[in-house]
Amino acid sequence: MKLGAAGRRLIQLYEQGPDGGPALKAYLCPAGVWTIGWGHTKGVKEGDTCTPEQADRWLDEDTDWAERAVNDLVEVPLNQNQFDALVSFVFNVGRGSGHDDPHGPSGFMGSTLLRLLNMADYAGAANQFRRWDKSKGRVLNGLVLRRMDEKALFLM
């Protein structure tokens, strides 16, 4: 499957820059990572800039690995909304293998969310989104809201 319009909008909503829309100048995100565009972090350093078109191209590239992770790891059928919610989630928390994952070793792969989903416990999996609301052990309001929206999309 490929990311649909609802999933792309969800990612853009929560990956926008400090001034709204794509960040055209690199900034430090709440986790202390240099970020530009729609949540792009690979190779970003202080002072980097981009155009809106480059931000959109990076988003396409950056969501490719999250799509692959969902397609590779989920063993049960998904509808488009479930897929989109999971791609948004994986884009934010990481695949979890540590291999080519910008988020490192923790993430979707070892999650209870994935385990329940692969047991076809869709409701149980949906209830796991809310557990992923922290960065460096601190609850972030933006993550609370993002997880609520991902869960809502997953349940549509």
In a domain, residue 141? The reply is: yes
Which of 15, 50, 67, 150 is the catalytic position? 15
- Give 54-90 pLDDT, tens digit per residue: 999 999 999 999 999 999 999 999 999 999 999 999 9
Total structural domains within the chain: 1
Whether 29 is in a domain gets the answer: no
The predicted structure's pLDDT at residue 100: 52
Residue whose pair of structure tokens reads 């869960």 in the numeric block: 151
Cβ(154)–Cβ(81) under 8 Å? Answer: yes
Of 1-10, 35-44, 97-106, where does mean pLDDT reach its minimum?
97-106
In terms of residue numbers, what domain contains 64? 5-16+52-154
Band of the pLDDT at 2, cuts 50, 70, 90?
very high
**Residue 48 exposure: Cα atoms within 13 Å on the Cβ side:** 18
The CATH number of the domain where 115 resides is what? 1.10.530.40
Residue 50 known to be catalytic: no
Would you say residue 108 lies in a domain? yes
31 in any annotated domain: no
**Which pTM does this prediction carry?**
0.90
Q: Is residue 40, in this structure, part of any structural domain at all?
A: no
Whether 56 is in a domain gets the answer yes
Q: Is 15 a catalytic site residue? A: yes
pLDDT interval class at 147 (50, 70, 90): very high
* pLDDT for res 64: 95
Average pLDDT, the chain: 93
Q: Which of 29, 50, 67, 150 is catalytic?
A: 29
Q: What is the DSSP letter of 128?
A: T
Residue 132, in any domain of the structure: yes
Residue 96 lies in a domain: yes
Residue 103 has pLDDT above 50, yes or no: no
